[in-house]
Amino acid sequence: AIVAAVAARFGAGPLAGRKVLLTAGPTREFLDPVRFISNPSTGKMGLALAQAARSLGAEVTVVLGPVGAVVRDGLTVVDVVSADDMAREVLARVESVDAFIATAAVSDWRPETRAPQKVKKGSSPGQESLRLVRTPDVLAEASRKVAGNAKRPVLVGFAAETEKVLEHAREKLERKGLDAIVANDVTAPGAGFGTDTNRVTVLTRTGVQRELNGSKNEVARAILELLLVRRP
């Protein structure tokens, strides 16, 4: 830990001079000033990756959805709320980094409209229908933006799934043009949202498949060693 801290401080370490951009946490899609659609992401896995990248010497920026108080030491943090915000902040930065790791649990839908005032219960009968539209796919848009560039960042996605985990993850890896994807069965014990441990399978475009488990810090370090330091 001391070696890593010293390395980070002096810009040494295997990722010295490299810029890593991450997204972390959930997004919130408001339907009025006080109600939103979201998910249970706490940002722990993404922040563990950010701190691990920092300790390996990288210059790290995190585009962070709404989470509670978190350790921001040594990180550049850009706070956002919605998927639209997150997409804008990522697209403004992705062409100037060496790696983009998308860990955020971005809402796939948002309410079509956002009421300017709290919608009162009395104003509707017992049933209501909320019209939803798709949000931008942050990682797919980032991938498209850098696709033709001479210096293209390493692109890593996360797939939080509840069934057919590897199948869904492989499909995302292909469709979004990624270098690797980290697949996560969020319903497995000791894995997923809010836990301190994780159990993941890393799949790469080159066909590597590797299972990792441990604390989120250990898993974060192993993912970076595998994908950014050794680069299979």
Of 39, 149, 198, 217, the catalytic one is 39
Query: 211 exposed, middle or buried (CB, 10 Å; 0-12, 13-18, 19+)?
Result: exposed
Q: Beta partners for 156? A: 101, 180
Among residues 8, 20, 97, 105, the one that binds its own copies under rule CB under 8 A: 105
Residue found under tokens 């898993």:
219
Nearer to its own copies, 194 or 232 (CB): 194
Shortest Cβ distance from residue 141 to its own copies (Å)? 14
The secondary element (H helix, E strand) that includes residue 95 is none
Tokens of 60: 């790290």
User: How far is CA 91 from each of CA 41, 96, 136, rounded to the nearest angstrom?
Assistant: 22, 10, 11
Judge whether 198 and 216 are in contact, CB under 8 Å. yes
Shortest Cβ distance from residue 210 to its own copies (Å)? 23
Annotation says 39 is catalytic: yes
Q: Which residues 23-62 are close enough to bind its own copies by CB under 8 A?
A: 28, 32-40, 42
Shortest Cβ distance from residue 231 to its own copies (Å)? 30
Q: Which residues bind its own copies (CB under 8 A)?
A: 28, 32-40, 42, 66, 68-69, 105, 107-109, 112, 117-118, 120-121, 126-134, 160-163, 168, 186-187, 193
